[in-house]
Structure 1
Amino acid sequence: MFDRVHKDHERVLVVGRSLGSGVAVQLASARPVDRLVLVTPYHSILALARQQFPWAPVGWLLQDRFESWQHAPKVTAPTTLIAAEHDNVIPRASTDALHAHFAPGVARFHILPGTGHNTISDNRMYLPLLAGGP
């Protein structure tokens, strides 16, 4: 799909939110995206599932593990990570771990105060950050 869009549009911005952030990081690591925005991203769905369900054999159950941290070092596009201050779905430590795997100077990290996983877009800084602001 990216190749089809890129043929008609020289500059392509990729945005991934929550689970979709894993797909976005993987795409940006393999294609010439102009910019990458990750909203409530995580470093590894496998690690999150193991933390949430320690009694379940999640390694056997997950077909797609979305190990975003493995793809982050290959991303060269300017990247913005946006986290919710009170995210009850994606722990801050997971977003911090992902951020640490980007090459120096590639990724900016913003925490939107007073927001949760499902209310992050209510913050006045959300749209400006999507647009490439602060």
Structure 2
Amino acid sequence: MAAKILMVLSAGISFTLGVVHLVYTFWGPLLTPRDPALQISMSQIAPVLTKETTMWRCWVGFNVSHSMGLILFGLVFGFLALAHGQLLFHSPFLLVVGLAMLGGFVVLCKVYFFSAPLRGIIISLACYVASIALSRASIMRS
């Protein structure tokens, strides 16, 4: 039971970070440049890859897809923990995929972001790892 609670907590943190990030992407100034001229410039300049978009549209798209990844992780792992705990906790594949995803988010936050999302993802990762450890301990006792 404790393993499920920790997994749901991990998933809930990731989900919440994703929703907050999505809200910040579309509403308010928090993910816009401090210099309005930069946003104007980004809205007028295409990346080298293609002229079909602008750097600003890429910026928004990257933020939305990042949010969607966090939300998807939270929904899938939260659902699996609550509705299919046996499947989740007995599947090395699912556990490694989740671990890799959260580990990847930690690296992204450390290299490209700032301390608040890093702390949130580290807490989510710690809950995830503790959840796995508790589930493994309970499997060993059985």
Q: TM-score, normalised by structure 2?
A: 0.26
The structure whose Rg is larger is: 2
Structure showing greater relative contact order (alpha-carbon pairs closer than 8 Å, 6 or more residues apart): 2
Q: TM-score, normalised by structure 1?
A: 0.27
- Larger strand percent: 1
